[in-house]
């Protein structure tokens, strides 16, 4: 593939003419250096991609820039012996779509060490339907298991349940035999969440419970929490003795005001979840699980929509407004 090879990309600009974005024809020389050139088949839409598409998002460090923190495709060329032409690969996190041109282009060029070989059991489309959000769900489940949360310990609360991290968490946990209570702000989505595997669906207000006092009823063995903010502060009061909260997100805000009591009187574990620089051995192990015994079939069959690159702006605004349901996959194939 020569430096003049042309292809479509969704780019954001921020210069004298202001902030703007759209689909453009660019060439390979517009991409940063990297050992592996990939024909991108699919990308996904994550909350962080929404932030990358707005001026106040504080995600993108240089312009013009191609967002997209996830991609899956076929290797075209590789100067690293670990990959060869025709290999199917995926990439989530690291600098992709943040400091390094991302997945919203027909071609990407990225460092070999960021790539994961597509595990057997997943298609490229399924890998992107899972994407960073689903990988974060898997990482959350893994950390809960590592901290002793077994299905017999009691119900697991999943917040932001119709979102990317939430819906795939519901799917994985129910498949593994956990009793899942899903929290959603979308009252019309209850049946969908039951079909996904939730045993019970409650509103955000119900999940908040009594707001007074430093401790509440011990309701949950564990919580998958991509919501953050005041939600987390409230929910840690309701976690059972020795239970755990896997905290990955900030949809409800980046600040939380809590007390030490759930932690020092009930031994509650607050587990920080980071998918971006998750070490490669664990990353590859979790992708193997996502392709095998943890494969979130109920989410993949019910909560996925595929869109063309032209539809991307609408999907990016939707996720920023909290309207997203499940996962949106962007097809880069014409
Ligand atoms: N730590 C990491 O490595 C990592 C990786 C991936 C994502 N994240 C973060 O995790 C969060 C979720 O990501 P996502 O891709 O799942 O986003 P998403 O698809 O937009 O899902 C978020 C869901 O949260 C709920 N929600 C929205 N606003 C809320 C509010 N004010 N209070 C309570 N719930 C609210 C909504 O679900 P309901 O309507 O069903 O309640 C929404 O669908 C984001 O903050 C993202 O940046 C972090």
Please report the DSSP string for 25-73 in residue order: EEEGGGSPP-SEEEEEEEEE--HHHHHHTSGGG----SSSB---SEEEE
Pocket test for ligand 1, best of 43, 94, 305, 322 (most atoms within 8 A of CB): 322
198 lines ligand 1 (CB under 6 A): no
Residue nearest to atom 4 of ligand 1 (CA): 248
Q: Residue 28 to residues 78, 196, 309, 319: CA-CA distances in angstroms?
A: 14, 41, 18, 30
The secondary element (H helix, E strand) that includes residue 93 is none
- What three-state secondary structure class fits 120? coil
State how far the Cα of 298 lies from the Cα of 140, in Å rounded to an integer. 18
- What three-state secondary structure class fits 252? coil
249 lines ligand 1 (CB under 6 A): yes
Q: Which atom of ligand 1 is nearest to the CA of 320?
A: 20
Amino acid 87: pLDDT: 98
- Centroid of ligand 1 to alpha carbon of 202 (angstroms): 16
Q: Which atom of ligand 1 is nearest to the CA of 132?
A: 6
266 lines ligand 1 (CB under 6 A): no
- Angle subtended at Cα 136 by Cα 32 and Cα 185, rounded to the nearest 5 degrees: 115
- Centroid of ligand 1 to alpha carbon of 284 (angstroms): 24
pLDDT tens, per residue, the chain with 334 residues: 787 889 999 999 999 999 999 999 999 999 998 899 999 999 999 999 999 999 999 889 899 999 999 999 999 999 999 999 999 999 999 999 999 999 999 999 999 999 999 999 999 999 999 999 999 999 999 999 999 999 999 999 999 999 999 999 999 999 999 999 999 999 999 999 999 999 999 999 999 877 689 999 999 999 999 999 999 999 999 999 999 999 999 999 999 999 999 999 999 999 999 999 999 999 999 999 999 999 999 999 998 999 999 999 999 999 999 888 899 999 998 7
State how far the Cα of 318 lies from the Cα of 45, in Å rounded to an integer. 10
Residue nearest to atom 26 of ligand 1 (CA): 160
320 lines ligand 1 (CB under 6 A): no
Amino acid 210: pLDDT: 72
Pocket test for ligand 1, best of 49, 67, 157, 185 (most atoms within 8 A of CB): 185
Amino acid 47: pLDDT: 92
Please check whether residue 287 is in contact with residue 90, taking contact to mean a CB–CB distance below 8 angstroms. yes
Pocket test for ligand 1, best of 59, 67, 134, 165 (most atoms within 8 A of CB): 165
- What three-state secondary structure class fits 247? strand
> With the C-alpha atoms ordered 165, 167, 172, 177, is the resulting torsion angle positive or negative?
positive
Other C-beta atoms within 10 Å of 82: how many? Answer: 12
Pocket test for ligand 1, best of 196, 249, 303 (most atoms within 8 A of CB): 249
Q: Which atom of ligand 1 is nearest to the CA of 46?
A: 15
Amino acid 4: pLDDT: 84
Residue nearest to atom 24 of ligand 1 (CA): 160
327 lines ligand 1 (CB under 6 A): no
160 lines ligand 1 (CB under 6 A): yes
Residue 36 forms beta bridges with which residues? 78, 110
222: closest CA among 208, 206, 235, 205?
Answer: 235
């Amino acid at each position: 593939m020569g430096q003049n090879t042309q292809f479509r990309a969704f780019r954001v600009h921020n210069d004298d003419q202001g902030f703007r974005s759209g689909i453009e024809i660019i060439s390979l020389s517009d991409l940063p250096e990297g050992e592996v050139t990939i024909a991108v088949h699919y990308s996904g839409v994550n909350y962080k991609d929404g932030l990358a598409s707005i001026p106040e998002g504080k995600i993108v460090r240089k312009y013009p820039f191609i967002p997209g923190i996830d991609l899956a495709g076929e290797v075209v060329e590789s100067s690293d012996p670990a990959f060869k032409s025709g290999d199917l690969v995926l990439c989530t996190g690291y600098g992709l779509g943040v400091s390094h041109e991302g997945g919203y282009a027909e071609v990407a060029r990225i460092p070999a060490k960021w790539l994961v070989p597509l595990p057997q059991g997943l298609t490229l489309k399924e890998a992107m339907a899972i994407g960073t959000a689903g990988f974060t769900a898997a990482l959350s489940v893994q950390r809960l298991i590592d901290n002793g949360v077994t299905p017999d310990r009691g119900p697991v609360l999943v917040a932001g349940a119709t979102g990317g991290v939430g819906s795939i968490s519901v799917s994985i946990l129910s498949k593994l035999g956990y009793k899942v209570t899903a929290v959603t702000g979308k009252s019309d989505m209850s049946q969908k969440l039951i079909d996904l595997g939730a045993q019970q669906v409650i509103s955000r207000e119900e999940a908040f419970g009594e707001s007074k006092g430093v401790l509440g009823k011990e309701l949950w063995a564990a919580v998958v929490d991509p919501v953050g903010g005041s939600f987390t502060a409230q929910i840690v009061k309701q976690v059972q003795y020795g239970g755990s909260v896997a905290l990955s997100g900030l949809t409800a805000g980046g600040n939380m005001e809590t007390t030490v009591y759930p932690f020092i009187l009930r031994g509650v574990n607050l587990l920080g979840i980071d998918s971006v620089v998750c070490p490669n051995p664990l990353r590859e192990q979790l992708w193997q699980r996502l392709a095998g015994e943890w494969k979130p079939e109920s989410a993949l069959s019910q909560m996925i929509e595929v869109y063309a690159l032209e539809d991307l702006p609408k999907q990016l605004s939707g996720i920023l407004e909290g309207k997203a349901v499940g996962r949106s996959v962007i097809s880069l194939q014409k």
